[in-house]
Each structure stands twice: as C-alpha cells, then as structure tokens.
Amino acid sequence: EAGVAQSPRYKIIEKRQSVAFWCNPISGHATLYWYQQILGQGPKLLIQFQNNGVVDDSQLPKDRFSAERLKGVDSTLKIQPAKLEDSAVYLCASNPPGTRPKYFGPGTRLLVL
C-alpha cells in the first residue's frame, strides 16, 4: 500500500511570509496528525483529526497556525506569518482509529530566514 505522502519536502521562506504544507494519508485512515519536530527534539503533536473533525489542537499556536481536513482525506497545515522559531520538520501521520500509531510521512523541512 502507498504510504503517507507529504509535499513539499523542503521549503525555505523569510520570516513573516506564509507557507502551507500538504498531507495525503493512507487510504481509509480516519485519524490524521500533524507533528512539529524542532532540530534535536522529539516530535510534538500540533493537531489531531478524526475524519474532518478536530480531536486535539491544544498545542497548536492558533494565532499563526491553522489546519484543515475538509473532506476527511487530505489535510493542509498553514503558517501565517512565519517566525524564525517555526523552523522545523513537520510530520504528518495517519492510522485507522483505535490502532497503534505506526504510519508517518517523510516530513516537510521548513527553514525560516
């Protein structure tokens, strides 16, 4: 089966610019996550979707970050405006509900200058 797809793989922007990341989960996986992984740290959950509903966004900086999963399949994560500290790898993951979190995408590496 195809894995979790993410694009772009790399992005370089200047601070105060906007950026968007895209994730296509494994077909049939209702649960989708976005994680932020700052260099030298473990991933931190930003937001979790169940189909197109938000389950947990407690650690999402809502003043600048937004995410949507309109049809319960693909998802986009947006940062507007970006700050230097947003430089990180953004990982998307998916799994069927009630199963162990196993499936991660390759990530998008963001550098904010």
Partner 1 sequence: AQKITQTQPGMFVQEKEAVTLDCTYDTSDQSYGLFWYKQPSSGEMIFLIYQGSYDEQNATEGRYSLNFQKARKSANLVISASQLGDSAMYFCAMKRSGAQKLVFGQGTRLTINP
- Contact residues for partner 1, defined by CB under 8 A: 31, 33, 40-45, 48, 55-56, 89, 91, 93, 95, 97, 100-107, 109
Neighbours of 73 (CB within 10 A): 17
Shortest Cβ 98–partner 1 spacing (Å): 9
What does the CA dihedral 45, 12, 113, 111 come to, rounded to 10 degrees? Answer: 30
In terms of CB distance, is 22 or 104 closer to partner 1?
104
For partner 1, the closer of residues 53 and 80 by Cβ is 53
Indicate the residue among 15 and 102 with the shorter CB distance to partner 1.
102
Instruction: State the minimum distance, in angstroms, from the CB of residue 44 to partner 1.
Output: 7
Q: Please say which residue, 14 or 97, places its beta carbon nearer to partner 1.
A: 97
Output the smallest distance, CB 16 to partner 1, in A: 26
The distance of closest approach from Cβ of residue 90 to partner 1 in the complex, given in angstroms and rounded to an integer, is 10
Tell me whether residue 18 is exposed, middle or buried, using C-beta atoms within 10 angstroms of its C-beta: 0 to 12, 13 to 18, 19 or more. exposed
Separation between Cα atoms, residue 101 and residue 70, nearest integer Å? 22
